A and B are shown apart, each in its own frame.
Chain A
Amino acid sequence: MELKRVVVTGLGALTPIGNTIDEYWDALINGKSGAARVTHFDPEKFKTKFACEIKNFEVTDFIDRKLAKRMDKFSQYAMVASDEAIADSKLDLDAVNKLRVGVIWGAGIGGLETFQEEVLNFAAGDGTPRFNPFFIPKMIADIAPGNISIKYGFMGPNYTTVSACASSANSMIDALNTIRLGTCDVIITGGSEAAVTIAGMGGFNAMHAMSTRNDDPQTASRPFDANRDGFVLGEGAGAIILEEYEHAKARGAKIYAEVVGGGLSSDAYHMTAPHPDGIGVVAVMKNCLENAGLNPEDVDHINTHGTSTPLGDVAELKAISEVFGSHAKNININSTKSMTGHLLGAAGAIESIASILAMQHGIVPPTINHETVDENIDPELNLTLNKAQKRDIKVAMSNTFGFGGHNACVLFKKLD
């Protein structure tokens, strides 16, 4: 059976540095940081007092008030980004066969704030359980695609993949394979997360995973810099419309790129620490290239996982050197987490969007906040430091790795 070709025909983004695709791209190439003191709650007693929050966002500008109250923020973000992507795709919602349109979403956690508020409410009472009837349906990670299907009537496959920070790369790969196999014509994919809450910040702080650069939040996310001290928590959503190539061509859709391959692997090593030799990361990039039928020399750009943690950044670059050999120095490598922070389950989606836009515009967004060379990093690698670089990109790779040792990798190719 011949596999179908899959293309990207719509994009949507709600990120800490821009609330639409255009705003997001503008901020990316201008090296804007989304970090600031936390406003969602009083962070005074927290080790980390800043995050990359969504800004200037009033949910009722997008979603009816009653519906919005039935959604955790991670669902609201998913809906807003998906609305933008669906509109961008110009899909004819009356003509499309909705039985063959699915929603495959990614979320690392789901409705953490809803869970936290309901449990706090219980704890503050006399022990009588008075949970809100919307507690469970608001919180569960699969409700975001459920809500999208209810709004649009899409009756194809509908679920959420959960693999921590690799979640939305997993969802894209599932969407890719579902269309490749001919099961669906169109899939709304991507991911969302809203973990800037007391439980989220407190939990990640306890792991010593987050930066504590409270005196200068905007420079805290500094992937590959010698003085990096952990990731910066972000929130938001990215939505990507994947479509079977002939289906897209037949309706004259704008095509951003072809999705040519997906790779998955596991470190099988530790709950949270990356394998020091990056064996799982080497494996995922190799099997992604193999899945796409491409050679290492074909790759022009890699948007790394690059979270700004001491161990992870070095392990990933070592793995890139191993997979790409002498070609590694020709690749424009970057980490847009330097600007957006780490959107956990939404990271794969918003970073894939950054790669797709980089390909479209011929510009690679920078890795900002680089000041001091890390001697453990090969100086020959082009990490696109501090300033965007012009680059004609034919093939772009996006890496994401999650706690649990999950690795996912996606390859995009300019349409011939």
Chain B
Amino acid sequence: MSDIASRVKAIIVDKLGVDENEVVTEASFTNDLGADSLDTVELIMEFEKEFDIQIPDDQAENIATVGQAVSYIEGAK
């Protein structure tokens, strides 16, 4: 697993209180990992902080799964 992927995973485990094994590439924050609308906003903010990037709201709307988050961050770095 890439460094980015493992850091993303750690944030998700911490913020959503889910088991590491559940945080697979195709897992959806809301459908699979129990996030609500406020959780997803918080996740995006944590990604921005961790990776020192800005994720505009219209882009954030397209980040719904673990894999989408990792690809977005990899592209933004």
A69 — which chain B residues lie within 8 A by C-beta? 15, 17
- Cβ–Cβ contact B45 & A132, under 8 A: yes
A133 and B42 form a contact (CB under 8 A): yes
A137 within 8 A of B: yes
Main secondary structure of the interface of B (DSSP, over half): helix
B45: chain A residues within 8 A (beta carbon)? 130, 132-133
User: How far is it, in angstroms, between the C-alpha of A132 and the C-alpha of B41 when the chains are bound?
Assistant: 8
Q: Does B38 lie within 8 Å of A137, measured CB to CB? A: yes
Cβ A133 vs Cβ B41 within 8 A: yes
Which of B15, B16, B38, B48 counts the most A-chain CB atoms under 10 A from its CB? Answer: B38
Q: Is the CB of B42 within 8 A of A132?
A: yes
Nearest A residue to B16, CB-CB? A66
- B38 touching A134 by the CB < 8 A rule? yes
Residues on B with beta carbons closer than 8 Å to the beta carbon of A130: 45, 48-49
User: Among A66, A132, A133, A137, which residue has its beta carbon within 8 angstroms of that of B17?
Assistant: A66
B residues 31-61 near A (Cβ < 8 Å) are 38, 41-42, 45, 48-49
- List the A side residues contacting B38 at CB < 8 Å: 133-134, 137
State whether the Cβ of A251 lies closer than 8 Å to any Cβ in chain B: no
Partner of B42, one of A64, A65, A134: A134
Residue pair A64, B41 in contact (C-beta under 8 Å)? no
Set of chain A residues within 8 Å of B16, measured between Cβ atoms: 66
Question: Could you tell me the dominant secondary structure of chain A's interface residues?
Answer: loop
Tell me the complex Cα distance, A38–B75, Å: 47
Complex Cα distance A69/B42, Å? Answer: 12
> Which positions 132-160 of chain A face chain B at CB distance < 8 Å?
132-134, 137
Query: How far, in Å, is A60 (CB) from chain B's closest CB?
Result: 10
User: Least Cβ distance of B60 to chain A in Å?
Assistant: 12
Q: How far is the CB of B17 from chain A (nearest CB, A)?
A: 3
Q: Which residue of B lies closest to A137 (CB)?
A: B38
The smallest beta-carbon distance between A16 and chain B, in angstroms, is 29
Residues of B within 8 A of A133 (CB): 38, 41-42, 45
Closest Cβ neighbor of A134 among chain B residues = B38
Residues of B within 8 A of A64 (CB): 17
Chain B interface residues (CB < 8 Å from chain A): 15-17, 38, 41-42, 45, 48-49
9 closest Cβ contacts across the A-B interface?
A66-B17, A133-B41, A133-B38, A65-B17, A133-B42, A134-B38, A132-B42, A130-B45, A66-B16
For the complex with contacts A65-B17, A69-B17, 13 further pairs of A-B residues with Cβ separation under 8 Å are A64-B17, A66-B16, A66-B17, A69-B15, A130-B45, A130-B48, A130-B49, A133-B38, A133-B42, A133-B45, A134-B38, A134-B42, A137-B38
What are some 19 contacts across the A-B interface (CB < 8 A)?
Answer: A64-B17, A65-B17, A66-B15, A66-B16, A66-B17, A69-B15, A69-B17, A130-B45, A130-B48, A130-B49, A132-B42, A132-B45, A133-B38, A133-B41, A133-B42, A133-B45, A134-B38, A134-B42, A137-B38
